Amino acid sequence: MSLSYELRVLELDSQTQLLERVQLLTQFASSFVVIKGESGAGKTWLAHRYLEAWAHGKNQSLITCFANQDDEVNRSNILRQLFPHSMYSATDSLHDSVERILEGEASNIVIVVDDAQHISQALLAELWLLYTASLHVTKQNISIVLFSASDSLSSRLSRLSHGLDSKPVELDVDELTDAEAERFFDTLVLRYIDESVEKRVKSAFTSIKPLPGEILALGEQKMEKKVIIRSLVGSPAKIAATVAVIVLLLFLGYSWLLKSPTPQSTEPSEVPIEQTVIPTLDGPVDAATEEQAEGANKEMPSQLEPTDDTASLPPSVTSETASVGVAESGERVVITSDVVDALLDDNTAVAVAKAAEVQNVVTPKVKVVDVDNAQKLQTPITFSFAREELNALPANSYTLQIAAMTELKDVQLFLNQHTFDKPVRVYPTLRGDEKWYIVTYDVYPSIQTARDAAEALPEEIQSLGPWPKSLSQVQREITRWKE
């Protein structure tokens, strides 16, 4: 039985009215809403139902707070749901990260926090700052909806909003009406319980609060098996007689154990291993019995011969190891970074100047080279970085990012496997201490144009998941690269 599925499709009037009010508050402008309700009032279901059926067209994020949870974890969960393809730092505040990612672009965002009574004061202040900042940015609608099981948020938010025109909106999750509780109980509990406990559950339903959580708990209770022990004694005299009978039975049982004979130990009989002999009887036997005994003795072998079963043993363990791809000389050639950078930047002058140095190192150490195999194992790098070209493009334009890799050979293989009819530009950047190579496709005057172009791309390129990226962000990433 899946009660959660039935609960998703059962909307009561009081719940629908609350969801409609939340939708109205968050649909056309930024808002900060706090929804309070006691434990079991159905706040978690309301949070999921609001995002599922009452917040269409919004960029959604849903987190659940726990006691002593790190703020960086909550920030990362929010940003990863809102901007799955953007880079951010979990140590930065939510306002700084969202402002850097959006760059003033229009947005329609809703952030829902369940069990908000556990949220830290620092993260609560970041959410309030994110909401108030969106009020001053055109076409940015950022709403915060908190579901709390206590009134602690009211006092904490009053300190944040003190002296400001903007105030949080507080709503309460009320108890179900008698008709709603009866319908809830009949639909989600009574139809699934066993007939043997139906009467007991109905009786318990009349004495609980009309809350969805407590009503659902009735269907999850297990019947307690009651063992009724009838009293065998009713007076001191009967108690004394009962104790005497029990002591007598214990004494008789102990005496019987002491008198029971102990088994005598017997010597194990020796079983002949080499052959089996049918014994003869002392008394007179008939001719048929003697003939059967002689036949049985003749069929038994006179001596059992050992059998060699070494073939069934596993192979012996050897201490020798085999290696693949290790040269016998144990020497290798190291090419300096100047030559690699010169080849990547198409600087043939430096590469030619260093060729003699590389040749002097390689010539005396290489004995036999299989040219065909060497060419198969190498991936020649034929592309060059477009840093200067990307920096020359307008910062307010956009491009499509289609790939991000950490190895140059992977970038080359990617370019070899796909065909593009628009300019493809590659630039390097740093994410932390790791080198990344970003592949971009074409350039567009606005983000909407880039989105439309992504939907009109061939299926081969659409399968790569292209997404719009501003040139200002691309140029900032290029500056991170250190030669």
Q: Is 40 left (phi over 0), alpha (psi -120 to 50) or beta?
A: left
Concatenating the DSSP letter of every residue in 464-481 gives: T--EEEEHHHHHHHHHT-
Tokens 């959660």, residue? 4
Task: Give the tens place of pLDDT for each residue, 81-136.
Answer: 999 998 989 899 999 999 999 988 899 999 999 999 999 999 999 999 999 999 98
Considering all CA atoms of the chain, what is the largest pairwise distance in Å, rounded to the nearest integer?
Answer: 125
pLDDT at 247: 92
pLDDT-above-70 percentage for the chain = 70
pLDDT for residue 341: 57
User: What is the mean predicted confidence (pLDDT) over 171-185?
Assistant: 91
Which residues have C-beta within 8 Å of that of residue 293, sequence separation ≥ 6? 278, 280
Give the pLDDT band of residue 17 (cuts 50, 70, 90): very high
Residues whose CB is less than 8 angstroms from the CB of residue 34 and which lie 6 or more positions away in sequence, other chains included: 116, 146, 148, 153, 154, 157, 168, 169, 170, 171
Q: What is the pLDDT of residues 340-368, one digit of tens each?
A: 455 555 555 555 555 555 444 444 433 33
What residues does 60 pair with on adjacent strands?
Answer: 110
39-63: per-residue pLDDT in tens?
A: 999 999 999 999 998 898 899 999 9
Task: Let me know: does 69 contact 118? Beta carbons within 8 Å.
Answer: yes
Which among 40, 37, 39, 50 is positioned nearest to 8, based on CA atoms? 50
Say whether pTM exceeds 0.85: no
- Out of 19-23, 198-202, 231-235, 439-443, least confident range: 231-235
What length is written for the chain?
483
Burial class (CB in 10 A: 0-12, 13-18, 19+), 93: middle
Whole-number Å distance between alpha carbons of 477 and 483:
14
Residue bearing tokens 């606005």: 446
Q: How many helices (H) and strands (E) does the chain have?
A: 20, 9
Question: What is the reported pLDDT for 412?
Answer: 92
pLDDT, tens digit (0-9, with 9 covering 90-100), for 389-416: 999 999 889 999 998 889 999 999 988 8
